[in-house]
Amino acid sequence: MITPVISRSTAMTELYEAQKGLFPERETLTVEFKSDPKGGLKNDVVVDTAVGFANAEGGTLFIGLNDDGSVGGVKSPKWRNPELAVAYIASHSVPPITATAEIVRVSDALEVLAIHVPKATGIVATNDGKLMKRRIKADGTPETSPLFPQEFISRLAEIGRCDYSSMTLPNTTYDDFDANERQRLREFLRDNNGEKALMDLEDEDLDKALGLVRGSPEGLIPTIAGILILGKERRIRQLLPGAGAVFQHLAGTDVLANEEMPLPLLKGFQALLDRFNARNSETEITQGLARIAIPTFSEQAFREALVNAFCHRDYTILNRVSVRLSDDGLEITSPGGFVSGVSLENLLTVEPHPRNGLLADVLKRLGLAERTGRGIDRIFEGNLLYGRPSPDYSESNSDSVRVFFPKCDPNIPFFQLIIEYQKKLGSRISVQSLIVLSAVLFAKRLNFAGIAAATHIPELRLKRHVETLVEDGLLEARGNGRERDFILSPKFYKAQKRVIEHVRQAGIGAVKNEDLIMQLVQEQGNVTRSDVAALLGVNPQIAYRLLKKLVEDGALVREGAKRLSVYRLA
């Protein structure tokens, strides 16, 4: 009997197929590959990586995978035993990391150990005092590097264990406040419908009520929030060199503006708002007897995004808040990544948790920020209301949060549809309903699973919004059960004289072309040969034959001669 010889290339192909889908394709912030060489993988490498994951977003260490993701297999006895590996990591970290581990079998000869490390609720070190953190390098690849002392406060604020804005700084006094800025604060209170009770307080009582100062044996000492809002510009630059903002206006490659905004925070906020409004053009439309101005960018969305940038930024980082206006759109960048528990997928559903709680509270009480803490809803609402795409947070990373508002024309019929609905409703449409309608608007047709994937709204909540929109006539459902497809209301298409497109979308999956033609006649009143050709995507001769058959069947009547014929319901 002859034993078949399997070539090396064939064996490698089979191995590749076997491991496909078992492991991530590359290393990321939460994924690390470590090969297990003949001499064995060093203990401290494993512990350092686990500590680095714990001090970042958590993650999984795969022992037995090479840097390129290929399988080398785990060889060391210690790392072939999940229980022993987990116990070793726990005994060599302070406080102990409660990791879990499992063996992933690729073939009879190859196994990989996957160690899953949770995100820590504090700061974790190795038992010999090393502090590590997982981060992304400038080239986009991940690394495990030291966590430096100046990053401790930032890390604790990120996970909600410390409010940096409520702390005090050495060598600060009440004299570091600027009386002119306190007057500006009172003007903000008045102009933005802030807490009325604050208006009647004397200066010291106002500062205490807002948490801008703390009492001490030496007298009143400013908090960091106090320095940011009332501090003299010179002292802010000395004490908080990362505070402030920059405004840029670009047209192609030309720099039309590149300005450093003044300090303190309220003064800089107003300066940014002035520059935004000066460049934010409007388009007027008529709605009934009223004329409505539609801005290029929503001021509501801009204000809330700017407040978020100042409230949630990391003030221990030297970078400043950046506002950039370009031909493509408007971009606001804030130093420091998302706070713990917030991600791109749950932005609209996660409970709000500011990095700088005191500062956020002050801005709410002044009337600048959304009092419910759901400013992100207002940001999305301001864009979606006009039929524009959702604000884009996709370029955010562990170092910064970046929101981009694309510059594009409003969808007037969509906006009018929403305005009419709100008048009928007697209140504003919910932001979740707007997100659902926007997803259908840009996809033209979606089933329930497609809407869920596009919106990230939890299923039970999404079902309620979709059913309400169908009942209220903003969405039209086609099909039965979970297989139903959804399109926008016929009103939306009729307002744009796009009845043909509506009938085509509504009729996708229908059995008979005649049904689509009859539906178009019912919605449009009459059809021509070219209407039917556009509807069905056929040539005019085929369209003529279909219309002729409907006339012969008595469903339609023909008016006019030859190519100018118009067909109506019989």
pLDDT digits (tens, 9 = 90+) for 390-423: 999 999 988 899 999 999 999 888 888 888 888 8
Instruction: Let me know whether 519 and 473 are in one domain.
Output: no
Q: Would the pLDDT of 375 be above 60? A: yes
250 and 368 belong to one structural domain: yes
Residues 404 and 467 in one domain: no
Please indicate, yes or no, whether residues 252 and 392 belong to a single structural domain of this protein.
yes
Q: What is the average per-residue pLDDT within 329-346?
A: 88
Q: How many separate domains does the chain show?
A: 5
Q: What's the length of the chain? A: 570
Amino acid at 524: Q
| Contact in structure between 194 and 134 (CB atoms under 8 Å) | no
* Residue 9, domain member (yes or no): no
Which phi and psi (to 5°) does residue 245 adopt? -150, 165
Asked if residue 484 has pLDDT above 90, the reply is no
- Percent pLDDT > 70 in the chain is 90
511 and 435 together in one domain:
no
Please give the pLDDT value at position 503.
54
Mark whether 261 and 362 lie in a shared domain: yes
Whole-number pLDDT of residue 434: 92
Q: How far apart are CA 219 and CA 213, in angstroms?
A: 10
Do 176 and 266 belong together in one domain?
Answer: no
User: Does residue 160 form part of some domain?
Assistant: no
pLDDT band for position 567 (cuts 50, 70, 90): confident
Confidence of residue 19 (pLDDT cuts 50, 70, 90): low
Quickly state the pLDDT bin for 20 (edges 50, 70, 90): low
pLDDT at residue 496 is higher than 60: no
pLDDT at residue 512 in the model? 62
Query: Can you give the three-state secondary structure of 5-55, one letter per residue?
Result: CCCHHHHHHHHHHHHCCCCCCCCECCEEEECCCCCCCCHHHHHHHHHHHHC
Is residue 153 one of the residues assigned to a domain? no
Structural domain contains residue 5: no
pLDDT value, residue 511? 43
Q: Which two tokens stand for residue 221?
A: 């000492």
d(CA 436, CA 430): 10
Asked whether residue 87 is domain-assigned, the answer is: yes
Amino acid at 485: D
| 218, 224, 229, 230: CA torsion to nearest 10 | 20
pLDDT tens by residue, 316-327:
988 999 999 999
User: How much of the chain, in percent, has pLDDT values that exceed 90?
Assistant: 51
Which among 121, 147, 173 is the end of a domain?
A: 147
Task: Name which of 100-104, 149-153, 279-283, 437-441 the model is least confident about.
Answer: 149-153
Q: Is the CB of residue 76 less than 8 Å from the CB of residue 88? A: no
The answer on 551 and 507 residing in a single domain is: yes
Question: Residue 480's pLDDT is what?
Answer: 65
pLDDT tens, 279-306? 999 888 877 777 888 999 999 999 999 9
| Whether residue 272 is found in the same domain as residue 405 | yes
Q: Is residue 2 part of a domain?
A: no
Selected residue with higher pLDDT from 140 and 475: 475
Q: Residue 507: pLDDT band by 50, 70, 90 thresholds? A: low
Q: How confident is the model at residue 137 (pLDDT cuts 50, 70, 90)?
A: confident
Instruction: Give the pLDDT of residue 202.
Output: 95
- In this structure, are 541 and 460 located in the same domain? no
Residue 344 falls within a domain, yes or no? yes
- Cβ-count burial 507-546 (b if 16+ within 10 Å, e if not): beeeeebbebbbbbbebbeebbbebbbbbbeeeeeebbeb
CA-wise closest residue to 435 among 492, 395, 388:
388
Check residue 27 and give its pLDDT.
93
Q: Give Cβ neighbours of residue 124 (< 8 Å, ≥ 6 apart).
A: 51, 54, 55, 93, 94, 95, 97, 131
* Final residue of a structural domain among 378, 412, 446: 412
Q: Is residue 158 part of a domain?
A: no
- pLDDT at residue 299, as a whole number: 93
Domain final residue pick, 198, 214, 239: 239
Strand partners, 488: 475
Scanning the structure block, which residue is given the tokens 């072939």? 80
Domain that holds residue 387: 245-412
> Tens digit of pLDDT for each residue in 166-186?
999 999 999 999 999 999 999
Task: Please tell me whether residues 402 and 438 are part of one structural domain.
Answer: no
C-alpha triplet 76, 81, 86: angle, nearest 5°? 110
Residue 142: give its domain's CATH number.
3.30.950.30
Q: Does residue 233 sit in the same domain as residue 259?
A: no
Across all residues in the chain, what is the average pLDDT? 86
**Over residues 482-503, mean pLDDT:** 64
Q: What is the pLDDT of residue 481?
A: 60
Decide which of 20 and 106 is more confident.
Answer: 106
Identify the CATH number of the domain in which residue 288 sits.
Answer: 3.30.565.60
Q: When comparing pLDDT for 444 and 257, which is higher?
A: 257
Cβ proximity of 329 and 392 under 8 Å: no
Per the listing, tokens 């495990």 go with: 144
